[in-house]
Amino acid sequence: MDGEDSKPMAKEKTNFQILSPPNTRDLVDSVDAFLFDCDGVIWKGDALIDGVPETLEALRSMGKKLVFVTNNSTKSRRQYAKKFNSLGISVTEDEIFSSSFAAAMYLKVNSFPIDKKVYVIGEEGIYEEMKLAGFDCFGGPEDGKKSVLFGSNSLFDHDKSVGAVVVGLDRCINYYKLQYGNLCIRENPGCLFIATNRDPVGHLTALQEWPGAGCMVAAVCGATQRDPILVGKPSTFMMDFLLQKYNIPTSRMCMVGDRLDTDILFGQNAGCRTLLVLSGVTNMETLKDPSNCIWPEYYTSSVSDIMSLSDDR
């Protein structure tokens, strides 16, 4: 399994197309599973995007598998399923692949020693997934209010048995956590540095973008001078789990997302069809900017177009 950072590959500009009735019908017919990003695709902050429940329902009734692949690490799969259900969308935990779960699975498949501990710079989601996977973890929310005392002879002590530092979005980031992670990575031999994702910003509220995990991961890189192992999109680490579960070739999967450098690149890296929705962080200007080198197969304004266009006979 490969959890290494996947860099965008130089690629010829493809003829990306706007979704239209004929190509939408072709796409739907030739795909058995739709992989959806969540933030900016299903919802923005806590606000559902128009037409999403009906679209998902219609796809399900056509026998399509629905999978939710999200880089947001602040929730566990359980917490995600709860959010979906609270918004009136029936989704089960095992249809959700969050980067918090991916981080725990990375340690699992790489036989992370049971006598080693995990230090978390992140929120509840990572913490819960680590515990569920049976790992001894600390940090995260419980270190959110800690501060550092600077005496001339004071020593900041850290646990030498930490074997992995997992970094995701952390809205309670502070200097204590940064130093804790820094010391573990620099001083504990072989300590892993795992990033749930590197999204620069995300729609944490409907009205604005906020610093994402990419901010905290960069901070740790800046101090440690180390590159992380990336488990979220665009890394295809999660794809092996998907393939094992659904037994569908990636050529019959379509990744639907709002970010070029995570969602669309993940889809392309995995060999999936790709559909960019403009309901999140990417707009037409960004998509058509000469500096952009990641193009989806299709683009459209939002998820509901999949059904409205394929119904338009």
Contacts to a second copy by CB under 8 A: 45-47, 148, 150-156, 170-175, 178-179, 182-183, 186, 198, 200-201, 204-212, 214-225
Nearest-approach distance from CB 216 to a second copy, in angstroms: 7
Annotated binding residue 116: no
Rounded Cα–Cα distance for residues 250 and 239 (Å)? 9
Annotated binding residue 233: yes
Adjacent-strand bridge partners of 66: 34
As to burial, measured by CB atoms within 10 angstroms (0-12 exposed, 13-18 middle, 19+ buried), residue 172 is: middle
Q: Is 115 a catalytic residue?
A: no
Nearest-approach distance from CB 1 to a second copy, in angstroms: 26
Rounded Cα–Cα distance for residues 254 and 236 (Å)? 14
As to burial, measured by CB atoms within 10 angstroms (0-12 exposed, 13-18 middle, 19+ buried), residue 10 is: exposed
In the numeric block, which tokens belong to residue 255? 């990744």
Q: Which is nearer to a second copy, 204 or 307 (CB)?
A: 204
Given 37, 143, 170, 199, which residue is catalytic?
Answer: 37
Annotated binding residue 312: no
H or E element in which residue 244 lies: helix 239-246
H or E element in which residue 192 lies: strand 192-195
Q: Within 10 Å of residue 207's Cβ, how many Cβ atoms?
A: 9
Q: Which is nearer to a second copy, 6 or 310 (CB)?
A: 6
The answer to whether 106 touches 229, Cβ cutoff 8 Å, is yes
Nearest-approach distance from CB 209 to a second copy, in angstroms: 8
Nearest-approach distance from CB 151 to a second copy, in angstroms: 8
Given 39, 199, 263, 305, which residue is catalytic?
Answer: 39
Q: Within 10 Å of residue 291's Cβ, how many Cβ atoms?
A: 5
Annotated binding residue 39: yes
In the numeric block, which tokens belong to residue 158? 């850290």
How far CA 230 is from CA of 50, 189, 194, 266, in Å, comes to 32, 20, 6, 12
Which residues are within 8 A (CB) of 86 and not within 5 positions of it... i.e. 6 or more apart? none
Q: Is 46 a catalytic residue?
A: no
As to burial, measured by CB atoms within 10 angstroms (0-12 exposed, 13-18 middle, 19+ buried), residue 243 is: middle
Nearest-approach distance from CB 172 to a second copy, in angstroms: 7
Amino acid, single-letter form, for residue 119 = Y
Nearest-approach distance from CB 145 to a second copy, in angstroms: 10
Annotated binding residues for Mg(2+): 37, 39, 258
Binding-site entries: 37, 39, 233, 258
Residues designated as active site: 37, 39
